[in-house]
Each structure stands twice: as C-alpha cells, then as structure tokens.
Amino acid sequence: MDHETAIRTKSSERYAIGDLSSSERDEFEEHFSDCTQCMDDVSLASTFAANARAVFRERAHARPAPRSSFLHGLFARPLAAFAAIAFAGVIVYQNMVVIPETRAPRSAIASVRLDGETRAALPQVKAADALRVQMPFDWPAGSAKGSRERNGSGEPNGLAEPKVFVELMDTLGNPVSKGDVAAPGPNQPLELYFPVRLSPGRYTVVVRADKAGQEMARSAFEVTSLDARTP
Amino acid sequence: MEFHIFDADYVRRLAEGDPDTESHFSTYFERFIFLKLRSRRVAPEMIEDVRQETLLRVLKALRQGAGVTHPERFGSFVNSVSNNVLLELNQKNSKHAPMDDDTPEPFDNRVDLDAAIITEERKRMVAAVLDDLSVKDREILRLVFFEDIERTAICNRLNVDLDYLRVLLHRAKAKFQAAYVRKHSAVRHAANLIFMVILSNAGVLGLTILVRWN
C-alpha cells in the first residue's frame, strides 16, 4: 500500500476502529511502519477512538435510568436526599412544635378586664381584635405551689418561675387554646394573650394550678361580630 | 508523496550505536508496536515482551547479522520481525498446536488497552468535538465506539453509507487534532511568555544592581 492509497481509503481511521480486513490491515501496517505521517494519523485516530469510547461510557453511566422512580432518583444523590429530609424535618417541626406554640396563650398587656363569674354583663371582645385579657388571680390559701415557689416578699424562690395552666374554651366546653403561662406576682392580675381568631360567641377562661390541678380562677367573655359594635 | 524517514545513513548510524539514532529508533518503534498490537487487543505485558524482543533482534541483525537489504524500507523490516516475535510468543504461550497464519489472534477482553491513552484533558476535547456534531452524527459515533455494532448494521439503521461513516470519523479526528494542537500551542506560548517575563525581570534586576554598585 502506498501513501496515496492509505489517504484515499482513510485507512488510519478504519484501522483505529478495526474496520480493515486482515490483509488490508497487514498491508497498512507495513506502510505506516515506514511512514511517519500515517503513523501520526493512526496514533491520533486511536487516541480519539479510545477517548470517545470513554466519553460515551461515562455519559451512559451518568444518564438516569428511564424507569426509575422519583424517590429512587432522589436517594441516588445523597446530598439531595439529605436536603429533602432536612426540609421535611423543618416542615414537621413547624407544624408540630412551632405553630402550636404560637397558638398557645401567653402573658400580655391586658385590654379586656374579666371580673370573674360574678359580673352580670359579660365583657365583650370584637371578633377582629387581638384577644388580650386581664383577670383577677391569687394563689389559694395553703397552696403548695404558692408557698413553695414564693418567699415572704412575693418573689420567686430560685430560678424556677411559677406557672399556671390556662385554658380557653368555647360555649360547649371545647378547648380553643391552652398551655402554661407565668403566674403573676401577689396582688397582680393575670394578663393573657390568646393568639387565636375567635368567631362570635361565649368563651370561658379557666386557670388551674397545673393541667389536671385545682381550678383557681374562671372568667367568661363574649366575642361579638363586627356588625354588633356598640357606639 | 511519501513520508519515509529511513535510509542507508540512518541504518548505518543505528548499527554504529549513535545515541540519538538509537533513541529515535526505540521511541518510534515502541509506538509502532503499541499501535499494532493494541489493534489486535494483545495484553500490555505481551506488548512489552514483543517490543523488547523485536528491538533486540533488529539491533542484533544490524550489528552482528547481515543487516537490511532495503534501508529505505527499514520500518517494514522491523514490522516483519515483530510479526515473527508475536507469532513465536503466541505459540510458546499456547498449549495447543500452532495456529495457521490466517487464524485471527485471540482477543483478551480483560485488559483495558485504552487506559494508556485516555486522559481527562483528551476526554474534554473529544467531548467538545462530539457535542459540536449533529445528533445523528453523534449517534453514529456512539454506535461505532461504544456499542461496537457492525458498520453495515449502523449504516442500515441510520440510512448512511460506509463512505459517510469514514468521512465522519475523519472529520471528527481532524477537529480533535486541531483542538489538541491549539491547546498545546497555547500552553507552549504561555510557557514562552512566562519565561520571557522572568528573563526580562532578571535582566532589569541585574542592571539595577550594577548601577547601584557603580
């Protein structure tokens, strides 16, 4: 085989991909053993072929399986799986911990004074207003909690802050909001804020020493609709 | 036009032990034997054995034997010697009867012969060349290189002829060559530039020292 024939028949490319017959291959090898240009061509074509094979192999392995599920694909990537689990954890935490916490009662500046069950006309709260209430409170005489956690000056003993359990219930006695709040000092009213929107109706606030403990105070109020505003 | 590099003078210098000629001889035919035996999928250890034995026999023939009759075809002579060495080693390694000349060499699929010529840089260049092709042309090359499907089957499947396939391979190879040359000339230019900057800075520093001393 001479050089012109080798070029014309593109022997170097065909040699690199094994496309020559046995006799053609031997003839071409005999030629390029003496021809620097053809040997460079063979070397280049072989290098291209080997690297192209590697590129196609990598791409084939990198391509996702067509029938794999979303979860399979997700967990094939550890970083994405970790991010998804962390995101799901945040959502669960917000729904189970953060949001109920925001709905629990807490101390606040009173806006509506509740005088206990003795008042004839119930205090009224407008449906759109923030539910801030103030109600009388005192530890019952001989209360273990009151005597244990307060010293003679009325200041809390140690770091433990005395708490009471507060529950807001609707007309049927169903709890709307509940939780522990800090107990007020002696001769101080209990100030509460309920971060809930109430529909019109009668509601009752019950204060207990703890969740299943003795009832210490009870007051009722009425939520009026916006249309029922009094001048 | 032929690109022969061998002549009587080359063979004489090699026979006399000229170091530069010996170095060229070793490099050139090491590459030739690698390409030749790689196309036959011979195991790397076997390639090394064939290479050493071939070069040894050729030098022995030049220095102690009858030499070569056609110095301008010295490459063909080395090729013939390598064929004989390969055949002998195959027979020696085989427990069976000698094979006919027409029997194809057994492939050893356990070894990755491509590993020696695959690099990350080359893969990037090849990937760029492939991405520059049309979808159909890329698919043809994928079938050729990766799926290793018969050429005629590829041509039938994608409705092209064998010439088209060869031209496509030729163009892809030429693009790869151009990218390779461009990359290496850029590296060479950058190295030259850095060298010139260092040299000029050294010159300025030297002049400054001389002026201060005087």
Cβ–Cβ of A52/B126 closer than 8 Å? yes
Reported for B180-188, long-range contacts at CB under 8 A and 24+ positions apart, including other chains, are B180/A44, B180/B122, B180/B125, B183/B121, B183/B125
Check residue A69 and give its pLDDT: 59
Question: Closest approach of chain A CAs to the CA of B79, in angstroms?
Answer: 6
Cβ–Cβ of B167/A37 closer than 8 Å? no
Domain ranges of chain B: 8-93, 119-213
The DSSP symbol for B4 reads B
CATH superfamily of A112-228: Macroglobulin (MG2) domain (2.60.40.1930)
Q: How many residues does chain B have?
A: 214
B2–A contact, CB cutoff 8 A: yes
Question: Closest approach of chain B CAs to the CA of A94, in angstroms?
Answer: 47
B184–A contact, CB cutoff 8 A: no
- Using N-to-C axis directions, what is the helix angle for A22-32 and B74-93, rounded to 10°? 130
Cβ–Cβ of A56/B142 closer than 8 Å? yes
> How buried is A1 (Cβ within 10 angstroms: 0-12 exposed, 13-18 middle, 19+ buried)?
middle
Give B127-141 pLDDT, tens digit per residue: 888 888 888 888 888
Other Cβ atoms closer than 10 A to B119: 13
Topology annotation, domain B119-213:
Arc Repressor Mutant, subunit A (1.10.10)
Cβ–Cβ of B123/A48 closer than 8 Å? no
Residue A77 has pLDDT above 80, yes or no: no
Give B190-209 pLDDT, tens digit per residue: 777 787 788 888 888 888 88
Give B11-20 pLDDT, tens digit per residue: 999 988 899 9
B176–A contact, CB cutoff 8 A: yes
Cβ proximity of A180 and A209 under 8 Å? no
Cβ–Cβ of A17/B169 closer than 8 Å? yes
Token duo for residue A47: 């290098």
Residue with the two structure tokens 């800090």:
A182
Q: What is the CATH number of domain B8-93?
A: 1.10.1740
- Using N-to-C axis directions, what is the helix angle for B44-63 and B19-39, rounded to 10°? 140
Cβ–Cβ of A44/B76 closer than 8 Å? no
Banded model confidence at residue B77, pLDDT cuts 50, 70, 90:
very high
Cβ proximity of A139 and A227 under 8 Å? no
Check residue A108 and give its pLDDT: 52
Domain ranges of chain A: 3-62, 70-103, 112-228
